[in-house]
Amino acid sequence: MSEKMKISDLSTFDMAEALNTEEDIANYLTLVLEEGDMSEFNHALNMVARARGMTAVAEQSGLTREALYKALRPESQPRFDTIYRVCKALGVRLVVQTAAHA
């Protein structure tokens, strides 16, 4: 008979630790963006930025670390140019295509 495991004994899943490759990152961001929830997309960008290192992403995007953390909070509403700069710093780009492709 197997022992029962308590939920409290399980380790916490951290998405940032699972984003190991460029393809992982691109797939993750694409899936979240397709859902259409912008607060969740901010959270996903935060996970990717954590995976890459917030300090490095801040430097590459031209933002301070504090501004990056603030912009990527789920409840924040960052300007598009901020999202664009963060995506560029992460090595990903947003692509526009017709809805028929979706």
Q: What's the number of CA atoms in the CB half-sphere (13 Å) around residue 54? A: 13
Q: 38 in a domain, yes or no?
A: yes
Domain count, the chain: 1
Q: 12 in a domain, yes or no?
A: no
pLDDT tens sequence for the chain (102 residues) = 577 878 777 677 777 787 888 888 898 999 999 998 888 899 999 989 999 999 999 999 999 999 999 999 878 999 999 999 999 999 998 888 888 765
What pTM does this model have?
0.78
Domain containing 72 equals 20-101
Helix and strand totals (H; E) in the chain: 6, 0
Q: 14 in a domain, yes or no?
A: no
- Residue 72: the pLDDT is 92
CATH number for the domain including 31?
1.10.260.40
- Residue 1: the pLDDT is 56
Burial (CB count within 10 angstroms: exposed 0-12, middle 13-18, buried 19+), residue 61:
buried
